[in-house]
Structure 1
Amino acid sequence: MTRLHLVRHGPTHAKSMVGWSDLPADLSDTAQLDRLSLLLPRPALVVSSDLRRAAATADAIAGNRRRLPNDPALREINFGAWELRRFAEIEAEDPERIRAYWDTPGDVRPPGGESWNEVCARVDAAVDRLIAAHDGQDIVIVAHFGAILTQVQRALRLPAADAFSHRIDNLSVTELSLYPDGWRVAGINRLP
């Protein structure tokens, strides 16, 4: 059995769609970071997206756990032309596309960005590589809302729209385990 502990990075406080922009995380709540670190298993491996909000969060909670290199395949959704723009602004310009992206996720993509299916394929492949390289271990993956939802969708075998109904708060933990007979979900969006 391999257990994944999917941690969403610290908050950015941005009020826009933040995907591949490299915004920093607010890691000033050191008490919450300490509680999060204590909640995670020891020993465990720690890996993160290469975006600094995830990498800095991983560094803050790693403690004496082994830190793996940052992985760009664990990044958030690439929002393309929607990046750092507010939903209402995009909806005023392209209401059908943005509603379809969130309401019926799949092959719809933002201009210059990724579809949900592309995000799932990218993150699934990264997680599969981690599991293959570290089978039977606990792996802490510090990533993003979208990346975590791809794994919730996969583990629960949900339609994409149902996966989006799950809340994934900053500094929360979602625990998934892969057994020989399939995935099991121990918890989604646990806060320390």
Structure 2
Amino acid sequence: MTTWHWVRHGPTHQKTFVGWRDVPADLSDTARIERVQAFLPDDALVISSDLIRAHDTADAIAGGRTRLRSDPMLREFHLGAWDNWHFTRVSDAYPDLSRAYWEYPGDILPPGGESWNMAAARVATAVRRISAQHPAQHIIAVAHIGVILTQVQAAMGWTPKQALAHKIDNLSVTRIDGPLAASPVPLLNHLV
């Protein structure tokens, strides 16, 4: 069984929605990055989303570990027209749609973007492929809040709304051992 150690990328300090928009992470807290690096298994493979905030965070925590090629299938949710909009602008422009998107995640999607279920299917396809290529190994995957929550949802058998109720902090570690493990998610939003 492949064990996944999901790390949310470093902070971006953005005050607007950030989906596929490519913004850098603030990786200036080197002490924290070193703690994350030391906490993760030394023999793990490292992969990330291809967005710069995840890619650069993965490079920072990789240390001497084998770094796999960044994967666009591990990108954050595609927020379409809402990317780079503040929450209030979205709710003012799309009051019913934005409320439904957050209160009933699943098949509802922003204009030009993807729904929770679409993103979850995309990420699950990548996770299955990577797990098949590297069976019984530890994988450190540096990605985004939405990506990580889709995997917690799948492992725990939750609804999208249940998963969305959980917080995933920047540079936190979420370990997923899989749905057949005694504790499928032994670490959720663990800060080191």
TM-score range, shorter chain: over 0.9
Cα shift at 1:178: 2.8
In structure 1, how many angstroms separate the alpha carbons of the residues matched to 2:118 and 2:11? 25
In structure 2, how many angstroms separate the alpha carbons of the residues matched to 1:102 and 1:144? 17
- Note the alpha carbon deviations across 1:59-89, whole angstroms, 9 max, x for none: 0000000000000000000000000101101
Q: Percent identity over the alignment?
A: 54
Opposite residue 48 of structure 2, the aligned amino acid is S
Cα shift at 1:7: 0.3
Partner residue of 2:50? 50
Aligned 1:56-75 pairs, distance under 5 A: 56-75=56-75
Partner residue of 1:116? 116
In structure 1, how many angstroms separate the alpha carbons of the residues matched to 2:100 and 2:111? 13
In structure 1, how many angstroms separate the alpha carbons of the residues matched to 2:152 and 2:181? 17
Cα shift at 1:2: 1.5
Gaps of 5+ in 2: none
CA spacing shift, 1:179–1:120, aligned 2, 3 Å? closer
**Are the equivalent residues in 1 in contact too, given 2:108–2:116 (CA < 8 A)?**
yes
CA spacing shift, 1:171–1:105, aligned 2, 3 Å? same
**Are the equivalent residues in 2 in contact too, given 1:2–1:179 (CA < 8 A)?**
no
Partner residue of 1:137? 137
Partner residue of 1:86? 86
**Are the equivalent residues in 2 in contact too, given 1:156–1:183 (CA < 8 A)?**
no
In structure 2, how many angstroms separate the alpha carbons of the residues matched to 1:139 and 1:129? 12
In structure 1, how many angstroms separate the alpha carbons of the residues matched to 2:178 and 2:170? 24
**Are residue 146 (structure 1) and residue 152 (structure 2) matched?**
no
**Are the equivalent residues in 2 in contact too, given 1:51–1:75 (CA < 8 A)?**
yes
**Are the equivalent residues in 2 in contact too, given 1:153–1:159 (CA < 8 A)?**
yes
Gaps of 5+ in 1: none
Opposite residue 145 of structure 2, the aligned amino acid is F
In structure 1, how many angstroms separate the alpha carbons of the residues matched to 2:183 and 2:133? 18
Opposite residue 105 of structure 2, the aligned amino acid is P
**Are the equivalent residues in 1 in contact too, given 2:4–2:141 (CA < 8 A)?**
yes
CA spacing shift, 1:181–1:26, aligned 2, 3 Å? closer
Cα shift at 1:182: 8.5
Cα shift at 1:185: 1.1
In structure 2, how many angstroms separate the alpha carbons of the residues matched to 1:20 and 1:183? 32
SS of the equivalent of 1:20 reads: coil
SS of the equivalent of 1:162 reads: helix
CA spacing shift, 1:80–1:183, aligned 2, 3 Å? farther
Cα shift at 1:45: 0.1
TM-score w.r.t. the length of structure 2 is 0.97
Partner residue of 1:32? 32
Cα shift at 1:183: 7.2
Opposite residue 20 of structure 1, the aligned amino acid is W
Opposite residue 153 of structure 1, the aligned amino acid is Q
In structure 1, how many angstroms separate the alpha carbons of the residues matched to 2:65 and 2:162? 34
Count residues with an aligned counterpart.
192
**Are the equivalent residues in 1 in contact too, given 2:156–2:179 (CA < 8 A)?**
no
Which has a greater percent of strand? 1
